[in-house]
Amino acid sequence: MTDLMSRFITLEGGEGVGKSTQIAAIADFLRATGDEVVVTREPGGTAYAEALRSLLLTPREEIVTPSAELLTLFAARAQHWHALILPALKRGAWVLSDRFVDATYAYQGAGRGLPVADIAVLERWLLQGRQPGLTLLLDMPVAEGMARARARAALDRFEQEHVDFFERVRVGYLARAEADSQRIRCINAAQPLLAVQTDVLAIVRAYCAEMTGSAT
């Protein structure tokens, strides 16, 4: 695979599964080859999209409707895509994103119960059929991920959700991985950190080898 999207890798999973930790290891591995690597996240990645992130994550009295949440996420994503991701891919950089569209299917689709067809319309409108070349889904039992994440700071608006919400998100992610097992690779994130990293880097190495092979 040598198309524009092949250098776009996303990490997905519930809270506390270790996405930020593993993305740093992937970045180190890819940078060692001499390539440019852009590490980014969603919601966020540019100043404007980060402002929308704080709007999305700040706990508030007012109930945010799922449709308003969905459209704000896609507003942030539109800025992120056009201002940061696409230009980086066009100049040949790797782009590693902590979450992307799969998160919307899992959180707003499976979690909030919004119709998948509505999310698909926005995805098509923005990305015109493009998808990350590789997605790593870090999966672990919800309670363990919550315990890891909650050892840290005050809870954001998503983290205040009930455990049922995160169980639906997990089921949503696993269903997407099953439906698209070529792109979405599932990793057992409940293992010790170095074991997860070994699995993650083995997949990334194999993916790079496959890309090199198909480019020659």
Q: Is 98 helix (H, G, I), strand (E, B) or coil?
A: strand
Contact code string over 139-178 relative to ligand Z5A, x by CB under 6 A: ---------xx--------xx-------------------
C-alpha–C-alpha distance, residues 189 and 13, integer Å: 9
Q: Which of residues 8-67 bind ligand Z5A (CB under 6 A)?
A: 13, 15-21, 42-43
Residue 103 burial class via C-beta count within 10 angstroms: exposed 0-12, middle 13-18, buried 19 and up: buried
Does 199 bind ligand Z5A (CB under 6 A)? Our answer is: no
Cβ distance to ligand Z5A smaller for residue 42 or 139: 42
C-alpha–C-alpha distance, residues 96 and 136, integer Å: 11
Spatial strand order of the sheet with 37-41 comes to 37-41, 94-98, 8-13, 134-139, 184-188
Looking at 30-38, 87-95, 103-111, 124-132, which segment touches ligand Z5A (CB under 6 A)?
103-111
C-alpha–C-alpha distance, residues 125 and 3, integer Å: 20
Phi first, then psi: what are they for 117, rounded to 5°?
-60, -35
Does 103 bind ligand Z5A (CB under 6 A)? Our answer is: yes
CB 56 within 8 A of CB 157: yes
Smallest gap from Cβ 62 to ligand Z5A, in A, equals 17
Cβ distance to ligand Z5A smaller for residue 91 or 162: 162
Does 107 bind ligand Z5A (CB under 6 A)? Our answer is: yes
Does 213 bind ligand Z5A (CB under 6 A)? Our answer is: no
Residues that bind ligand Z5A (CB under 6 A): 13, 15-21, 42-43, 73, 98-99, 103-104, 107-108, 148-149, 158-159, 192-193, 196
